[in-house]
Amino acid sequence: MLGSQRRTHILETLRREGQALAGALARELDVSEDTIRRDMRDMAAQGLLKRVHGGALPVAPDLPDLGLRRGVAHAEKAALGARAAALIRPGQMVFLDGGTTTAEIVRHLRRDSALTVATHSPTIAAELEHHPLVEVILIGGRLYRHSMVSVGAAAMQAIDAIRPDIFFLGVTAAHPRHGLSTGDFEEATIKRHILSASVETYVAVTAAKLDAVSPCRIAPLDAITGLIVPAGIAAERLVAYREAGVAVIEG
């Protein structure tokens, strides 16, 4: 088998399984483990995967700070925001996570929507300035500046006092086997806490976040109500997500 064919197979294994074990691949492809490890080293140097002991993991999207993310995949995020906003019903309590895709949900809310919106993101709260019928509950705590959200004990205590009808959860990666994840341990904890307090949870993800794994796990896919993905994603790429027990909504 050619080296390019081995590397394609390694990437497909990562996409499907969420990990690639050097020993298993060597047996499967009838080559030495050293050959697979050399392939993985070369692929890691190209940014195609992350080397770990015994094999490799997918590379999660490398997300810059919030201000720099605002211009990334804007049209895709706007379409996801519109699809997510259509799920909201008048009178509901909606919890909005931080992030640029979540900001697009706010921008697609009708100005005459009568809602209660809870958020631990001051930037999301500011987006609601011109929605006079929306009551805003801003959750405080220690500010995690990378995502501009409150985290910590004070935020968790405030979340305990509410019961949102619907939560729009932001993640940095989604994978059919490894679930939903993000880059910071404390942020993952607060996201998981909001999820557990909410009746329904939806996650809107750009195509770049699919089939990826970030260091800190939030929840398995079957813990959420629905995954909102961009229109036009290949049907076979979504099969494993549906088999994992989550409704997939194309935006």
Q: What is the pLDDT of residues 128-173, one digit of tens each?
A: 999 999 999 999 999 998 889 999 999 999 999 999 999 999 999 9
Q: How confident is the model at residue 68 (pLDDT cuts 50, 70, 90)?
A: very low
Cβ proximity of 181 and 214 under 8 Å: yes
> CA-based diameter of the chain, in Å?
66
Q: How confident is the model at residue 83 (pLDDT cuts 50, 70, 90)?
A: very high
CA 180 to chain centre: 6
Q: What is the pLDDT of residues 217-229, one digit of tens each?
A: 999 999 999 999 9
Q: How confident is the model at residue 76 (pLDDT cuts 50, 70, 90)?
A: very high
pLDDT at 69: 47
pLDDT at 4: 86
pLDDT higher than threshold 50 for residue 77: yes
pLDDT higher than threshold 90 for residue 1: no
C-alpha angle 78/155/247, rounded to 5°? 40
Q: How confident is the model at residue 212 (pLDDT cuts 50, 70, 90)?
A: confident
Cβ proximity of 111 and 131 under 8 Å: yes
Q: How confident is the model at residue 73 (pLDDT cuts 50, 70, 90)?
A: low
Q: For the chain, give the percent of residues with pLDDT over 70.
A: 94
> Where does 116-209 have alpha helices with state H?
122-127, 153-159, 185-197
Q: Which is more confidently placed, 57 or 88? A: 88
pLDDT higher than threshold 90 for residue 48: no
> Where does the chain have alpha helices with state H?
3-17, 22-29, 33-45, 66-69, 74-85, 100-107, 122-127, 153-159, 185-197, 235-243
pLDDT at 49: 86
For 20-41, what is the mean pLDDT? Answer: 92
**What is the average pLDDT value for the chain, to the nearest integer?**
91
Distance CA 211, CA 241 (A): 10
Q: How confident is the model at residue 61 (pLDDT cuts 50, 70, 90)?
A: low
For 114-125, what is the mean pLDDT? Answer: 97
